[in-house]
Structure 1
Amino acid sequence: MSFRDVFVGWIHRYFSDEEAVIFALLLTAFFVALFFFGAMLAPFLTAVVFAYLLQGIVTQLEKHRLPQLLAVILAFSLFVGGLLALLFWLFPLIWNQLVSLTREFPEMLRMVQVWLDQLHENYPQLISQQQANSLINDAIGEIRQLGHLLVSLSLSSIPSLIAWLVYLILVPILVFFLLKDRRQLTGFITSMMPQKRALMTRIWHEMDIQIANYIRGKALEILIVGVVTWIAFAWLGLNYAELLALLVGLSVLVPYIGAAVVTLPIALIALFQFGISSELAWVLAVYGIIQALDGNVLVPLMFSEAVNLHPVSIILAVLFFGGLWGFWGIFFAIPLATLLKAIINAWPRALHPEDEVKQLTSPSEN
């Protein structure tokens, strides 16, 4: 059998249905638009995320017989209140802690120099004085670059304030109308689709549930993990508890990889503050318990089987979509991977007669 025959057979198997061809073209156009116009569509994508997040609140309020407009107004007021709290309380606090941390870097470097000198005296065959000095010089260079970056960010942020103001105004407006006119918008999009759309309808309903559950569950997971980490680190007296709690909360966006990356700054800050002591062990133990409870209790409880993907698939999706679209690619890596899985499972396949006989005669799986 030639390559042409194999290719023609594959096309006939997966694209013999007219709806499958139309859906493939729409899906390709969607990803191309995201790839080339993702930055322009960022405010809309941000609004869609928050709209999905708030739609659950609107639905619950409507179940208590509140009018749809009143439910939208209450959910939107909660969103605006949370946004104001972030702008005027959390972000300034995190920025001040980040600046304070950069000011402590020289003292941290001095401690590292002392430890390297002691390591060289006790184990001269393990590390030489030249290697120790090289490590310190590299660290100083990295810290200077970080300091220059913070200064450049503070100076270059002045022209971008207008863009941030546009975001702060445009995104809430989009969120409000996405919530208020959700049925009209979905009806308009549906009217533009082909009349024969059983495949697209099936995939849309499945993905609508998947994305909504993922966004709401992930937002709740970030909140719970961040707050619990902040309480634990503050109770242990760890410096920069708020900054580290924010990093730990955001790390759940990237399963497996995020937890491993955030472990390093937590361990270093605890080491510089407490040294090699029981306090350091307590910090690492508490952080390990939080990660274990998140992965083995919180995630299965909140997501259940909603995101049934193999860990290798999740990591590959994070690497691929994160490389394409940065933060948004990482955030939507799991929903996009779930979308691809749903498409593969729902895709129509043209079966040969012998395949139909095998499918009919094969025992069904429970």
Structure 2
Amino acid sequence: MIHSVKLPFYAKLACVLISLISFAYIFCIAKDVITPVLMAFLFAVLLLPVFTFFNTKLKFPRHLAAIICVLLFAAFIIGILVFISYEVTDMANDFETIKKNANAFISDLHRFIKENFNISIGEQKKYLDNVTKDSVKNGNATIGSALISITDLLVDCTIIPIYTFLFLIYKDHFILFLAKLINKENHAALKDILSQIKVSINNYIVGLLIEMTTVAVLTSLGLWIIGIKYFILLGLITGILNLIPYIGILIAGIITVLASLTGSGETSIILGILIVNVIVQLIDNNLLVPLIINSKVEINAFVSIMGIIVGGAAAGVSGMFLAIPLLAMLKIIFDRIESMEAWGYLMGNHVPRKFTWRVRRVKTES
């Protein structure tokens, strides 16, 4: 365990808070640079066993082994994207059917609102026209933001594989750098921290892949039962978007509802889609996440939710995805630093026994 200088409680608390605020501020102002680096670090840790196999077992040079690892990972991602694009192209052939069923569904919705809320169809259309006009006014800004987001995505897709390659190549160099920062008597603790971080990140990402696959299979099965045409594609999209906390499943539900209009615009089909999504989410949140995700990173739900919210506010979807592994790394570090053990315990998922205060009574002379 790494020992530190003894300081009063208020001094230690001030140092911790100042450090957290400083790191958060640096991350916010430099998120466009830091986020791709952190993503590449996670991918490099995931690919490290494959890199070690090519480099150590098959005696490939380090550069060649790293290139093969990155190419295999890129091929896996591209294969998924090609399958999705192929299915989406097939779905686009049913655009006229989607448009027809969407209009029928909207008409039914107008009638339902008129019958139950006494709002005429004309008033509903007038309200929609006003909303549309407001949206058109902000259309240029929205298009500009979308173009910037697409440009940033393309840049990240180019630079993250490069960063991943460099992390694999300079792995030993970075470890030696960390070893030079601390005293030799603490090298054993550093080795333990790096080993645990590697295991935690690998377990987390593998757990995410298992969760994504399970959600995709369950969703596809449910959509197939209720008769949705593109059930495999929609299940896969739901599994992928489920990796984005909170908003991912909402986007997947909207896409599924729109895709269901290729067959029929009946309300029962849309209700069936909602029921399938709710059942899958109940299984995911109450079974998959506790067994697969939380057991891997040992972070309690309160800290996880707070981290996801803060990560989303700081760096959007990427920040939400990075929140859990970063918290897991912090917990591993805190657990091995004597003065930070309390913070590591706070982040943990341990259920304590009933705590009893131990008060020492002082005898007084009468």
Taking structure 1 as the reference length, the TM-score comes to: 0.66
**How far apart are 1:330 and its partner, in Å?**
0.4
**How far apart are 1:333 and its partner, in Å?**
1.8
Unpaired segments of 5 or more residues in structure 2? Answer: 1-6, 342-357, 360-366
Asked whether the equivalents of residues 55 and 65 of structure 2 are also in contact (C-alpha less than 8 Å), the reply is no
Structure 2 residue 136 is matched with structure 1 residue 137? no
Structure 2 residue 70 is matched with structure 1 residue 80? no
Distance 1:350 1:178 in 2: 28
Unpaired segments of 5 or more residues in structure 1? Answer: 1-7, 16-20, 352-357, 360-366
Distance 2:133 2:54 in 1: 57
Aligned to 1:127: 118
**How far apart are 1:51 and its partner, in Å?**
1.4
* Number of equivalenced pairs: 332
The correspondence of residues 44-193 of structure 1 with structure 2, limited to 5 A, is: 44-58=37-51, 61=53, 65-67=57-59, 69=62, 72=66, 74-86=68-80, 88-91=82-85, 94=88, 104=98, 108-109=102-103, 111-120=105-114, 122-123=115-116, 126-129=117-120, 132-134=124-126, 136-137=128-129, 140=132, 156=147, 167-193=156-182
- The farther-off stretch of 214-223 and 133-142 is 133-142
Aligned to 1:348: 338
Computed over aligned residues only, the root mean square deviation of the Cα atoms, in angstroms, reads 4.8
Counterpart of 1:40 in 2: which secondary structure? Answer: helix
Counterpart of 1:128 in 2: which secondary structure? Answer: coil
Aligned to 1:35: 28
Asked whether the equivalents of residues 230 and 242 of structure 1 are also in contact (C-alpha less than 8 Å), the reply is yes
Distance 2:144 2:106 in 1: 27
Classify 1:312/1:275 alpha carbon distance in 2 versus 1 (closer, same or farther; 3 Å): farther
The correspondence of residues 243-258 of structure 1 with structure 2, limited to 5 A, is: 244-245=234-235, 247-255=237-245, 258=248
Taking structure 2 as the reference length, the TM-score comes to: 0.66
Classify 1:72/1:322 alpha carbon distance in 2 versus 1 (closer, same or farther; 3 Å): same
- The farther-off stretch of 30-39 and 282-291 is 282-291
Aligned to 2:317: 327
Letter in 2 for 1:84: I
Letter in 1 for 2:9: W
**How far apart are 1:39 and its partner, in Å?**
0.5
Structure 2 residue 191 is matched with structure 1 residue 238? no
Structure 2 residue 272 is matched with structure 1 residue 276? no
The superposition leaves residues 62-90 of structure 1 with CA deviations (integer Å, 9 ceiling, x where unpaired) of: 79944465765553332131243355553
The superposition leaves residues 103-153 of structure 1 with CA deviations (integer Å, 9 ceiling, x where unpaired) of: 956862553234322442x43xx2321653355436655886898789768
Letter in 1 for 2:199: I
Aligned to 1:303: 293
Distance 1:349 1:266 in 2: 50
Letter in 2 for 1:137: D
Distance 2:65 2:316 in 1: 34
Distance 1:48 1:332 in 2: 11
Counterpart of 1:332 in 2: which secondary structure? Answer: helix
Asked whether the equivalents of residues 220 and 232 of structure 2 are also in contact (C-alpha less than 8 Å), the reply is yes
Distance 1:147 1:243 in 2: 30
Distance 2:197 2:310 in 1: 20
Asked whether the equivalents of residues 109 and 136 of structure 1 are also in contact (C-alpha less than 8 Å), the reply is no
Asked whether the equivalents of residues 207 and 296 of structure 2 are also in contact (C-alpha less than 8 Å), the reply is no
Aligned to 1:364: none
Letter in 1 for 2:105: M
Classify 1:229/1:87 alpha carbon distance in 2 versus 1 (closer, same or farther; 3 Å): same
